[in-house]
Amino acid sequence: MRSYGQYCTFARGLDVVGDRWVLLIVRELLDGPRRYNELLWGLPGIATNLLADRLRALEDAGVIERPDDHTYALTKWGEGLREVVYSLGRWANPLMKRPLGNDEFRSHWLTHPIHVLYEGVDKRRPRLVIEVDTGDAPMTIASANGTVRVVPGRPASPDLVLSGPPDGIIGLLAGMRDRASVAKVTITGDVRKLARLRPHPVGAA
């Protein structure tokens, strides 16, 4: 990675994570250790040699480590990028108003936008289990004890099932019911329960 050559925390941080693909690699590792092929699948469009180069550079910088010969994981210092990624997600929320178009999508990418939408603890939130199916692997959104989390897999007894395009589902979760893609979402259950999770409006500070 090329250096900006500036004695500045921002510049030195960008020396490490400012290259293309780096923060997306971090995004993939926020959910835990990943094998090389899992990273490659979660980063559509990256060349395999470029991924290898980025991983090597991040390991040399102390951002990631190899728990064993087959997996990559964030170091304790690398884990500090979680809030950086979430802050970028908050800032970029207005950009999600644009339709999906031809963009790639992986269902596990919902984890972090959902965290941004429903972050914090609010004891008024109901206990709610939502199955989300975007045509990729199913995901579960679970609200309990005032917090909301996303886990892979299909829940045994969901209160609500959302099936459809990812931009429609994200629009529905964010309360943007006027989005055209929301009309393509099939809803099983009482959709009014979503409003009680009180997501932050898109673009709000």
- Looking at domain 105-197, its CATH architecture is 2-Layer Sandwich (3.30)
* 108 confidence band (pLDDT: 50, 70, 90): very high
Q: What is the model's pLDDT at position 198?
A: 61
Specify the pairing of strand 147-152 against strand 128-133.
unpaired
Q: Which helix (H) or strand (E) holds 129?
A: strand 128-133
Distance CA 161, CA 121 (A): 23
3-state secondary structure at position 98: coil
3-state secondary structure at position 55: helix
Structure tokens given for 71: 């997996």
Q: What is the model's pLDDT at position 179?
A: 66
Question: Average pLDDT of 3-32?
Answer: 96
Q: What is the model's pLDDT at position 178?
A: 64
The answer to whether domain 9-79 has CATH 2.60.40.10 is: no
What would the pLDDT profile of 168-201 be if each residue is shown by its tens digit?
888 888 877 666 778 889 999 988 888 777 654 4
The structural domains of the chain, with segments of one domain joined by +, span: 9-79, 105-197
Within 32-140, residue ranges assigned H as helices are 36-42, 48-61, 76-79, 81-92, 111-117
Average per-residue pLDDT for the chain: 89
Looking at residue 21, the DSSP 8-state letter turns out to be T
Assess whether pLDDT exceeds 50 at residue 205. Answer: no
Name residue, tokens 């921002």: 10
